[in-house]
């Protein structure tokens, strides 16, 4: 049986793992952006791990080694920020090819350290081994104020669904590159930037549930609904897109909203928030858009486009058939 036969990556994780923990120090295990553990009297510990594989998450024909290092750090920091947390300590594990150049590694580490410095992360260990493909894995530890931790499971029907910044940038860049177009708006794919700790915390002070966008708005809203036991409506016309993403989609005869819904690696934040909290959030943070509403579970998860309900498909899945 292939992984795609059982429904892909998330079905596999569900099949292999349990959700019961014997250790009461586990506040949240599998199923969120980070594991949440007991730490001090007023803070929880957060742990996340994300891997990048050559020709799947990056291509050396397109990315510089500097960009690969930066992307690896940003993708992990994003998971800590999405919990309302503070990123702190990183471990890196590398499988390197025999022909991997030292200069490549120098540049890769420059990218890694530049992003780490921006987010005040310390690299404190790792492992180095040999492999046939480049495999780069980062584990990141952070912490969070107990009152600010924001889980995927905290959405409540009636909450507004919001996203930061604009979506679809990474997919737009990837599609341009795949078509051999090396000019235009590529940065969203080559050098995606996650949100800052201060932004995640500002949102956490007012929001219920939060997740970062690694597999597209469709997938992330699906995760929130699954963990919260709710439905949701996303309004197609409200999905925020940059003019560069719209232009890229026009060049490729695509709908840019499809990039936002089903493309990976934008590293923006999706959160649900009671309508009454929006004015208070706006005093602290403005770069977000209301794109829909959390609904009771029986209403389902769908996209409203020109008055018609469209099915919400899954986002990016490495094992999709
Ligand atoms: P994210 O995209 O936020 O990094 P993922 O979608 O990769 O999160 O993972 C979802 C959840 O599943 C996380 O809690 C993660 O720790 C867990 N997970 C992923 N792969 C495995 C695995 N092979 N075994 C156990 N847990 C896993
Ligand atoms: Mg995540």
pLDDT at 110 (0 to 100)? 98
Counting Cβ atoms within 10 Å, is residue 29 exposed (0-12), middle (13-18) or buried (19+)? middle
Atom of ligand 1 nearest to the CA of 34: 14
Q: Which residue's CA is the closest to the ligand 1 atom numbered 22?
A: 13
Residues with CB under 6 A from ligand 1: 13, 16-17, 30-33, 50, 79, 214
Q: Give the ligand at the shortest distance from the Cα of 78.
A: 2
Tell me, what DSSP letter sits at residue 208?
A: S
Tell me, what DSSP letter sits at residue 246?
A: H
CA torsion sign for 292, 268, 281, 221 is: positive
Q: Give me ligand 2 centre to Cα 307, in Å.
A: 31
pLDDT at 316 (0 to 100)? 64
d(CA 192, CA 101) in angstroms, rounded, equals 24
Nearest residue to 65 (alpha-carbon basis) of 163, 182, 190: 190
Q: Give me ligand 1 centre to Cα 56, in Å.
A: 17
pLDDT at 61 (0 to 100)? 87
Residue of 13, 21, 263 best suited for mutating to test ligand 1, as the one with most atoms within 8 Å of CB: 13
pTM of the model: 0.95
pLDDT at 302 (0 to 100)? 97
pLDDT at 281 (0 to 100)? 98
CA torsion sign for 246, 251, 256, 262 is: negative
Instruction: Spell out which residues have Cβ within 5 A of ligand 2, the ion.
Output: 33, 79, 212, 214
pLDDT at 320 (0 to 100)? 63
Span 145-191, pLDDT tens digits:
999 999 999 999 999 999 999 999 999 999 999 998 877 789 899 99
pLDDT at 105 (0 to 100)? 97
Asked if 94 and 129 count as a contact pair (C-beta separation under 8 A), the reply is yes
Q: Where are the alpha helices (DSSP H) in the chain?
A: 9-16, 65-81, 102-118, 169-178, 187-190, 197-204, 217-228, 243-251, 256-262, 278-284
Q: Which residue's CA is the closest to the ligand 1 atom numbered 10?
A: 31
Q: Which residue's CA is the closest to the ligand 1 atom numbered 15?
A: 30
d(CA 4, CA 283) in angstroms, rounded, equals 45
**Which residues of the chain are under the pLDDT cut of 50?**
321
Asked if 161 and 272 count as a contact pair (C-beta separation under 8 A), the reply is yes
Checking DSSP bridges between strand 230-235 and strand 301-305, what pairing results, if any?
parallel
From edge to edge, which strands make up the β-sheet containing 86-96? 26-28, 35-38, 43-53, 135-145, 86-96, 122-130
């Amino acid at each position: 049986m292939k992984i795609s036969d059982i429904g892909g990556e998330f079905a596999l994780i569900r099949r292999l793992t349990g959700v019961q923990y014997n250790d009461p120090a586990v506040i949240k295990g599998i199923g969120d952006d980070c594991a949440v553990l007991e730490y001090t009297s007023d803070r929880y510990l957060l742990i996340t791990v994300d891997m990048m594989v050559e020709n799947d998450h990056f291509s050396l024909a397109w990315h510089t080694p500097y960009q690969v290092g930066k992307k690896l750090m940003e993708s992990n920091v994003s998971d800590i920020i999405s919990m309302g947390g503070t990123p702190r300590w990183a471990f890196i594990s590398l499988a390197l090819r025999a022909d991997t150049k030292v200069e490549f590694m120098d540049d890769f580490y420059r990218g890694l350290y530049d992003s780490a410095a921006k987010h005040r992360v310390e690299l404190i260990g790792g492992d180095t081994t040999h492999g046939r493909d480049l495999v780069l894995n980062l584990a990141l530890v952070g912490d969070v104020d107990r009152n600010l931790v924001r889980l995927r499971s905290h959405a409540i029907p009636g909450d507004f669904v919001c996203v930061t910044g604009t979506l679809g940038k990474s997919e737009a860049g990837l599609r341009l590159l795949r078509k051999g177009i090396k000019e235009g708006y590529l940065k969203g794919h080559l050098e995606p930037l996650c949100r800052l700790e201060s932004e995640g915390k500002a949102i956490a002070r007012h929001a219920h549930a939060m997740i970062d966008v690694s597999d597209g708005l469709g997938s992330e809203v699906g995760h929130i609904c699954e963990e919260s036991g709710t439905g949701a409506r996303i309004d197609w016309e409200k999905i925020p897109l940059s003019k560069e993403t719209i232009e890229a989609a026009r060049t490729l005869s695509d709908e840019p909203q499809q990039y936002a819904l089903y493309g990976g690696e934008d590293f923006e934040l999706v959160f649900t928030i009671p309508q009454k909290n929006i004015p208070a959030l706006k005093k602290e943070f403005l770069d977000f858009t209301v794109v829909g509403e959390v609904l009771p579970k029986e209403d389902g998860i769908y996209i409203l486009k020109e008055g018609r309900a469209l099915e919400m498909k899954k986002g990016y899945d490495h094992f999709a058939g």
